[in-house]
Structure 1
Amino acid sequence: MIRVIYKWRVEEEDFVSFKEVWTRTTNSIHEAVPGALGSFLLRSPEDKTEVLTVAKWDSLESWKAFWGAENPSEMVGMREIGERISVTVYDEVDDFTK
């Protein structure tokens, strides 16, 4: 398993729209893309423009097949509202969340 952390800058007045598009996008990817296992959304309480989306994938290979040229078409709507700052991949070593 891997986790992919996308860091975004989203203006406060655009956050509700970003969240709506992210919800549709992550659910669509989870349902249609092999290896996609869902995602969650985080927002900084100190800097409301700092947003993280954390996706779970069954393997690095599955994510790379989706990621392609680094601008998956499925994420266009999110990129129209927020600025993607970074994308970082981590191996999931353990997870004790419920």
Structure 2
Amino acid sequence: MFHVIYEWWVAKENIDNFIDVWRKATNRIHNTVDGAKGSFMIRSCNDSNKVVTIAKWRSRYAWEKFWLDADPKEMRQMRKIGERVSVEVFEELGDETV
């Protein structure tokens, strides 16, 4: 598995809208893009403006192909609501979650 971690800065007054747009984008991508395994979102307990979304992909190739072929309107909307601070990619070495 392959994970992409996006760090966002989202103003407090925009968080509910950001969550809604992220949920729609995640569900659309997961349901329509080969290799997309979904995503989850967390918010910092120390800085309520800091949000992290973690997307799971079958492979780096699937993620890269997705971004070569598409720029979903929902992702553009997310970038209008919040500032994407960073993107980092990780290869999964193990998973002991249930």
* TM-score using structure 2 length: 0.94
Residue 46 of structure 2 aligns to a residue whose secondary structure is: coil
Does structure 1 retain, via aligned residues, the 8 Å contact 2:25–2:72?
no
What is residue 10 of structure 2 aligned with on the other side?
A: 10
Question: What secondary structure does 1:68 align onto?
Answer: helix
Greater than 4 Å deviation, 4+ residue runs:
none
How far off is 1:97 after superposition?
A: 1.0
Seq. identity, % = 46
Kindly report the root-mean-square deviation, in angstroms, between the aligned alpha carbons of the 2 structures: 1.4
Matched AA of 2:72: S
Q: Aligned residue for 1:73?
A: 72
Counting only pairs closer than 5 Å after superposition, residues 16-27 of structure 1 correspond to structure 2 as 16-27=16-27
Q: CA deviation at 1:72?
A: 2.3
Q: What are the superposed Cα offsets for residues 69-95 of structure 1, whole Å, 9 maximum, x if unpaired?
A: 8x8234111111000111110000111
Structure 2 unmatched runs, 5+:
none
In structure 2, what is the equivalent of residue 94 of structure 1? 94
Could you report, residue by residue, the CA deviation over 1:48-88 in whole angstroms, capped at 9, with x for unpaired residues?
1100000000000000001228x823411111100011111
Question: Post-superposition shift, 1:36?
Answer: 0.2
Hey, what does 1:32 align to over in structure 2?
32
- Length, aligned pairs only: 97
Query: Can you list the C-alpha shifts for 1:19-42, whole angstroms capped at 9, x where unaligned?
Result: 000000100000011100000000
For 1:7 and 1:67, locate their aligned partners in 2 and report how far apart those are by CA, in whole Å: 17
Q: In the aligned structure 2, how far is the partner of 1:35 from the partner of 1:63?
A: 7
| Structure 1 segments unaligned to the other structure (5+ residues) | none
